[in-house]
Amino acid sequence: MFRTFILSLLFIALTFLSVQAQFSQTYYTDQFYEIFVSSKGEIASIHADLDFRNVLRTKFLKFNSNGEITDRIDVTGVPTQLPYYCVTKDDEIIFSTPEGIKIYNFDGELVRNIGYSTVGYIFKDNEDNFLIANPQEFDCNFIKLDNSGNVVWNKFLENCKQIRSVDTEDGYVVALHKINEAKTDPIQFIKYDKDGNVVATKEYNINADFTGFHYTSNGLFATTFNLLIALDNNLDTLWTKSITPTIPTRWIQSKANANGIYILYDSYNPAPEPNLIQKLVKYDFKGNVLNEYIKGSTFAEEVRSYTVTETDDVFIVFRAASPSKTLLLKGDIVTGTTSLSEISFKMYPNPVAENSALIINTPISDATLTIFDVKGNKLREGIKLSDNISVDHSLKSGMYFYQVLKDSSVLTSGKIIVE
């Protein structure tokens, strides 16, 4: 039903040297889209697939720590691909659906069904109220419900095409992508107190969709397709950092926990051979890159979702090729101690011709170079580095990846294009 193997540090680029990220890779015939993780480390998901009668069947899946599915529980009325869910500190899995707010525990049991059918990004505040950010085509609503599903207040927000919201210590903040006739479409942040009164509002001339909005003890952080934005409690910008992808990217999403901000890119590299590249980058709360994980894959393996826990465990769900239907990566990205910015490494020319040599300039001593193909197979390894050396790569036209290692640690990595 599935097979498990450990990636040999495939295409890992860490900006800190004393540690390496390790991910396990498991294939399943079950079709699932999201991973839910409880505060106790329980792992669950929802399987959805058509049976032999072409009827959609949904099951609640439970996993053990080795990635094995230990239980499949029949459930009904659960959305399989909607983004409108949250996992609470009390280990409730809450779905906002057209049939109401459905609350499950990690045993797959429906605990409550609240008859409020307006759907949206949902969370539960520290007073057990429900908050729903409801996106529509041209307007949005931000709705507060009490624990029984009664409307406390409903804020109509006109002329916006996207909404995200977070719970803060003293209220709530919504992030809007506005619409206007000039088509400048700015982004706007509005802060409400618990009673729904506007405390602060700020608008910025940034025309971009949100890919994430987060509140941590270190402040407010919003991500768009090309910016990471830090805000203070008054919604003033503390700093911004460009996160623009260097190759065509179809999908970007961010997560955050007490340890940092994670941004996952699902990119398309059109040349020399079309393929997909997924890159997960961890930032600190000042916008510095802590470390990265990079994976090359075929067009059959697209990212569906990913989850980051408070202990830095990362789960990335992919669509997989037949006969498997789902690929799950599980691992962690942790913080090291030595900054990569202190290291100088230059490789050129890149792109390089098939019959030409690569020139490497680096002051790093006792380091080696390893070259991989796009499937992670080692093509060359143990190439000793020194300043201004020439490397006969013997590679045919295509894209490859490299790692520079020292004392079993990855110092840097990247890709090589051979023309």
Structure tokens at 103: 């609350």
Confidence at residue 271, expressed as pLDDT on a 0 to 100 scale: 54
The model's pLDDT over 260-276, given as tens digits with 9 standing for 90+, comes to 999 998 887 665 555 67
Confidence at residue 17, expressed as pLDDT on a 0 to 100 scale: 30
Confidence at residue 334, expressed as pLDDT on a 0 to 100 scale: 55
Q: Which helix (H) or strand (E) holds 210?
A: strand 210-216
Confidence at residue 281, expressed as pLDDT on a 0 to 100 scale: 87
Confidence at residue 363, expressed as pLDDT on a 0 to 100 scale: 61
Confidence at residue 275, expressed as pLDDT on a 0 to 100 scale: 66
Residue 342 is given by DSSP the state G
Contacts of 33 (CB under 8 A, 6+ apart): 45, 46, 48, 80, 81, 304, 305, 317
Confidence at residue 3, expressed as pLDDT on a 0 to 100 scale: 32
DSSP 254-275: EEEETTEEEEEEEEEE-SSS-E
Secondary structure (H, E, C), 213-240: EEEECCEEEEEECCEEEEECCCCCEEEE
Contacts of 104 (CB under 8 A, 6+ apart): 60, 75, 78, 92, 93, 94, 95, 110, 111
What is the Cβ-side half-sphere exposure of residue 346, based on CA atoms within 13 angstroms? 8
3-class SS of residue 76: coil
Confidence at residue 10, expressed as pLDDT on a 0 to 100 scale: 29
* Residues of the chain where predicted confidence (pLDDT) is lower than 50: 1-20, 335-343
Confidence at residue 9, expressed as pLDDT on a 0 to 100 scale: 26
Confidence at residue 19, expressed as pLDDT on a 0 to 100 scale: 36
Q: Say what the pTM is.
A: 0.74
Confidence at residue 313, expressed as pLDDT on a 0 to 100 scale: 87
Q: Which residue segments constitute the domains of the chain, with CATH numbers given?
A: 22-337 (2.130.10.10), 343-418 (2.60.40.10)
Structure tokens at 419: 């023309």
Confidence at residue 45, expressed as pLDDT on a 0 to 100 scale: 93
Confidence at residue 272, expressed as pLDDT on a 0 to 100 scale: 52
